[in-house]
Structure 1
Amino acid sequence: MIKFSILITTKNRRDELNITLRSLKQIMGRDDVELIVCDDGSNDGTYNYIKKEYPNIILLNNKKNIGLIASRNRLLSETTAQYAIFLDDDAHFLSSTVLETIETHFAENNNCGVIACRIFWGIQEPHSFRTLEKPLRVKGFVGCGHVWNMKAWRNIANYPEWYIFYGEEEYASYQLFKKGWQVHYLPDILVHHRVAVKDRKKQNDYALRLRRSLRSGWYNYMLFLPLIKIPRKLFYTLFIQLKLKVFRGDLKAAIPILQALWDLLVHLPLLLTESKRLTQMEFKEYQNLADTKIYWQPKETTNA
């Protein structure tokens, strides 16, 4: 019986993916674990390489690129496991006994729909793996390291594929909240996301990432927030983007900000039709939850 499914979507990052798969070799040897990789239209030989070097992996192949979110939906539709573990193709576990920790936490917390892992972002590993943090109920989770209780996943709608990239985790978090499921931050599971965040501004897709990130946040406002709360939240986030980016000389950010606003206007009829708003009381309860834990730094202790 498959209890754990490790799900990875990838596109044109064969070398990074190979690092991640090598880190999972010990876990992959268990009878209750499957690993499913969705190759989203790569043209760097990823599919044939994985098929040859890792024959035990379940390999899905999108002939054409369908996007990260659609690929995640496909992965979740394929597995019959109890728990679905998502890793990015450039992320791996630093903790030991990951599977045992996952199983124990879900067994002891029947209302937990998603485990949000502790995530370190950086090219090199952190100097310490230790933390003084404790498990905590939070608003949401991060895509590069989280675990679904598949009972919860099947209780909500799929990720919104038309978002393309960004915002699906927040979308799911609102839905989970509406259905009575919780998201738990579990610091015992440490994931290394091998990304230099500061370098993203220098990358060619910076503008596209900014556009999609902003608009997905605004889409979620329109779908889930009480109508009376939307104008203030929307204009505040717009002001902050202008203040921290455009007004500080990052002029190339102006165009994707305007494009995100245009995207919001274009999709407004759909957003209003598909809305699943929190009540005022639900919104207040949701706002009182701890914020999503995105970036962890080893500040609590200097002992390795």
Structure 2
Amino acid sequence: MKDLSVIIVNYNVSYFLEQCLLSVKRAVAGLDVEVFVVDNNSVDGSVEMVRRRFPEVILHANKENLGFSKANNQAMREAQGKYVLLLNPDTVVEEDTFLKCFRYMEEHPEAGALGVKMMDGAGKFLPESKRGMPTPWVAFSKVFGLSALFPKSATFNRYHLGHLSADETHEVDILAGAYMFMRAEALDKVGLLDETFFMYGEDVDLSYRIQQGGYKVIYFPETRIIHYKGESTRKTSVNYVFMFYRAMMVFAEKHFSGRQAKFYSYLIKLAIYLRAGLAIVSRAAQKLFPLLLDGICLAIGVLIGERLVQDPLTLGFTPSWAVYFSLWFGAAFFSGAYDEPSKLYRLVRGMLIGSVLIMAFSSIMGVTDVLGVTNKKHLLIAVSVGLVGMAFWRMFLHWRQYGNWRFGEPRAKRIAIVGSQKEVKRATSLLREVGLHDPIAKLETQNAEADLRQLQEIIKIHKINELIFCGKDLAVSQIIEWMVQVHDNAIEFKILPENSTYIIGSSSKDARGDYYALHIEVNLLNPYHRRNKFMVNSLVSLLLLVCAPVLILGMKGKSQFLKNCLANLVGLYQWVGLKANATPDSKPAVLSPVDKIQSDRLSQPAARQIEIAYAKDYSVFSDLEIIFKNIWQLGRKV
């Protein structure tokens, strides 16, 4: 029997998985450990990376995304360890983490599961390291913000057990699935993960069942891990809200009964609609905020122009202004004025194009324009004043965020690298390859305590805003300790793993982790191409609906064809999209790039490669070719 079986389920985070496995490799010292990686059909080279760099790992390369529970169970059924650890790929463990957990469990046979102190990529404690049972009251306090208002309250914040010290060992109710160190004997008694849960809630359910089986669930802060979080979830998305709260409903239906279950179900349904509504409003507000400010600037320009021109026929906002504003904003949108990163020339170009269109529109409509008469001088003043205002608020927000007036350029990175001379040189070379400047300062490590004092001085003198730690030279425990000691909201931390071409980090638990690597342009991710794809989808749908009386005669799936046309028209579906490489956030697609060659015998890997090539070299003509080549297949179910 092995001492420990470590199980990591991966989905499209090769760069994090590589760093995680490197930390695991160090942490197995002193124990007899087997390591499983279960890959849920990743398309980012994760499987190839594991085979190349970690041949000792037991790898399961699934041909579909089985979800968290099924994938973990797949390995747990084979595990030979006295203890089983479920570990997320976006984690980094300290060198003694496994040994400390093993010894604690050996000394406390009543403990069935153990979790550790988790820190995010900025060195902040993650409160989900310890959680209480999500009873109706706990859920109510969490959903309606009482836990956030009273973070230290035993009554209102039992969800994160805010009243319990993060630095002391406690018996708790729930552990996070990112790190669950469990006794195999307990799993034999209570069963594995419930496969009813696809992505969320399975850790809550298993923690609860381990307690019901007569074991204790322990929060153990004597060792720490980094958990980047945010990698596989977008918590502001409607999709996340529905998946998470539906998982809570499954838990309630399974473990509660009677009036309690009904109240919990009602509460969760209410939470789903409230949080989904807030997510939709929040995302819409973020999208519309720049348009609102630009509209105010243009409106001020109109009012100033009215005063200067003093033409009685142009007084007030006539109906024609709605048309003019639409033309201005439409031209600005298609010019890329609202794409990231923002560029002033795109805004100016869009407004100039819009003004030309407006002049042409006014000339065509003539002086007797039924929408209202607008003086051309008035228009020029309005757009000129509006542009000044638009430029000003963009520059001001940029200054607030980045501390400089160089609009379109992020805050200059002032990087310091900590590590041996060889690794510092390698990190510098990687930074150059991705177009970044050489580091401002370098610190070669010798004595941890002296190095920390020197590092703090370097940060202060050189105004460092990004620290890169060389993972080959530094212990994870030392990196975490320095992150905690140095912690400053203005500083971002990244790690260069041993022999890796990635420099990895994340600024907070809610921020998607980022990394430096050689950049490969993917057209399908470019805002310009995505906007064109949406427009082509809608225009093709409109054309197909006009021609529907004729097309429908030869169409397979006539009613589905009409449904597909309407769904594409409003942006719910896409005519051509990725299927073999689809993610949970992908829009349903009627056709895929594979339909271009019209072959039913392609293997899944071949289909993925075709889709990757399509995404890399995408243009709207690719979609048009596939659509018209498969026009009689547009009635397919998505």
Length-normalised TM-score, structure 2: 0.36
Aligned to 1:133: 167
1:151 paired to 2:185: yes
Aligned to 1:104: 103
Aligned to 2:10: 10
Cα offsets for 1:70-126 (capped at 9, x unmatched): 001112112110111221111111x442122112211222121110222223x3344
Alignment counterpart, residue 238 of structure 2, candidates 181, 202, 207: 207
Q: What stretches of structure 1 move > 6 A for 4+ residues in a row?
A: 301-304
Q: Secondary structure at the match of 2:217?
A: strand
Q: Which amino acid aligns with 1:73?
A: N
Cα offsets for 1:10-30 (capped at 9, x unmatched): 022111111111222223465
Once residues 109 and 263 of structure 2 are traced to their aligned partners in structure 1, the CA distance between those partners, rounded to angstroms, is 36
> Aligned-pair distance for 1:181?
1.5
> Residues 250-261 of structure 1 correspond to what in structure 2 (within 5 A)?
250=281
Alignment counterpart, residue 224 of structure 2, candidates 190, 214, 220: 190
What residue ranges of structure 1 are gaps of 5+ in the alignment?
254-297
1:115 paired to 2:114: yes
Alignment counterpart, residue 261 of structure 2, candidates 214, 223, 230: 230
User: CA separation of 1:137/1:31 partners in 2, compared to 1, >3 Å: closer, same or farther?
Assistant: closer
Once residues 76 and 174 of structure 1 are traced to their aligned partners in structure 2, the CA distance between those partners, rounded to angstroms, is 19
Once residues 81 and 34 of structure 2 are traced to their aligned partners in structure 1, the CA distance between those partners, rounded to angstroms, is 8
- Between the two structures, name the one with larger relative contact order (CA 8 Å, sep ≥ 6): 1
Once residues 79 and 278 of structure 2 are traced to their aligned partners in structure 1, the CA distance between those partners, rounded to angstroms, is 47
Cα offsets for 1:102-160 (capped at 9, x unmatched): 12211222121110222223x33449xxx862111111111111201111011112222
Aligned to 2:196: 162
1:72 paired to 2:78: no
> Aligned-pair distance for 1:220?
0.9
Q: Secondary structure at the match of 1:161?
A: coil
Contact persistence 1:28–1:35 (CA under 8 A): no
1:51 paired to 2:31: no
What residue ranges of structure 2 are gaps of 5+ in the alignment?
126-164, 285-480, 488-638
User: CA separation of 1:234/1:21 partners in 2, compared to 1, >3 Å: closer, same or farther?
Assistant: same
Aligned to 2:122: 124
The structure with the greater share of residues assigned to strand is 1
> Aligned-pair distance for 1:235?
2.4
Whichever of the two has the greater Rg, that structure is 2
The structure with the greater share of residues assigned to helix is 2
Once residues 218 and 211 of structure 1 are traced to their aligned partners in structure 2, the CA distance between those partners, rounded to angstroms, is 10
Aligned to 1:279: none
Q: Secondary structure at the match of 2:189?
A: coil
Q: Which amino acid aligns with 2:97?
A: V
Once residues 105 and 221 of structure 1 are traced to their aligned partners in structure 2, the CA distance between those partners, rounded to angstroms, is 32
Q: Secondary structure at the match of 1:162?
A: coil
1:42 paired to 2:42: yes
Aligned to 2:212: 178
Q: Secondary structure at the match of 1:36?
A: strand
> How many residues are aligned here?
249
Once residues 58 and 234 of structure 1 are traced to their aligned partners in structure 2, the CA distance between those partners, rounded to angstroms, is 41
Contact persistence 1:116–1:141 (CA under 8 A): yes
**225-234 or 75-84: bigger deviation:** 225-234
The RMSD of aligned alpha carbons is: 2.8
Once residues 280 and 2 of structure 2 are traced to their aligned partners in structure 1, the CA distance between those partners, rounded to angstroms, is 52
Q: Secondary structure at the match of 1:78?
A: coil
Q: Secondary structure at the match of 1:118?
A: strand
Contact persistence 1:207–1:252 (CA under 8 A): no
% same residue: 19
Length-normalised TM-score, structure 1: 0.73
Aligned to 2:593: none
> Aligned-pair distance for 1:246?
2.3
Once residues 176 and 126 of structure 1 are traced to their aligned partners in structure 2, the CA distance between those partners, rounded to angstroms, is 29
Once residues 247 and 79 of structure 1 are traced to their aligned partners in structure 2, the CA distance between those partners, rounded to angstroms, is 43
Q: Secondary structure at the match of 1:221?
A: helix
Contact persistence 1:6–1:35 (CA under 8 A): yes
Contact persistence 1:245–1:251 (CA under 8 A): no
Aligned to 1:291: none
> Aligned-pair distance for 1:55?
1.1
